[in-house]
């Protein structure tokens, strides 16, 4: 299920209206953030709670990815001793 052109245009209009309301933002990310906050503020409390749960889920995913990435980087020197040897050079071309 993808976005329809009308949905994308509506979102562009939302971002543009954010700027036209006199809200100053230094970057496009700030504009999008301000627009998102304004939209969330209009939702019922139950929906805001759902959004909070989703944001927590996304943050947890990012933290997990960062942890995996850091573990891989930390283990590279130890594995390099095992991987970099003349006996296994034949596997470098696979």
CA distance 31 to 41: 15
Q: What is the pLDDT of residue 12?
A: 52
pTM over 0.75: no
CB atoms within 10 A of CB 59: 10
Sign of CA dihedral 58, 60, 66, 68: negative
* pLDDT per residue rounded down to tens, the chain (94 residues): 343 434 444 555 555 555 554 545 468 888 999 999 999 999 999 999 999 999 999 999 999 999 999 999 999 888 887 777 777 777 777 7
Q: What is the pLDDT of residue 72?
A: 92
* Stretch (H or E) spanning 76: helix 45-83
Residues with Cβ within 8 Å of 61's Cβ and at least 6 positions away in sequence, in order, are none
């Amino acid at each position: 299920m993808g976005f329809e052109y009308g949905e994308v245009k509506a979102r562009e209009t939302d971002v543009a209206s954010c700027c036209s309301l006199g809200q100053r933002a230094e970057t496009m990310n700030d504009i999008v953030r301000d627009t998102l906050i304004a939209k969330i503020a209009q939702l019922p409390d139950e929906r805001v709670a759902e959004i909070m749960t989703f944001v927590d889920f996304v943050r947890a995913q990012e933290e997990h990815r960062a942890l995996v990435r850091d573990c891989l980087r930390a283990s590279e020197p130890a594995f390099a001793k095992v991987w970099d040897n003349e006996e296994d050079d034949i596997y470098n071309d696979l």
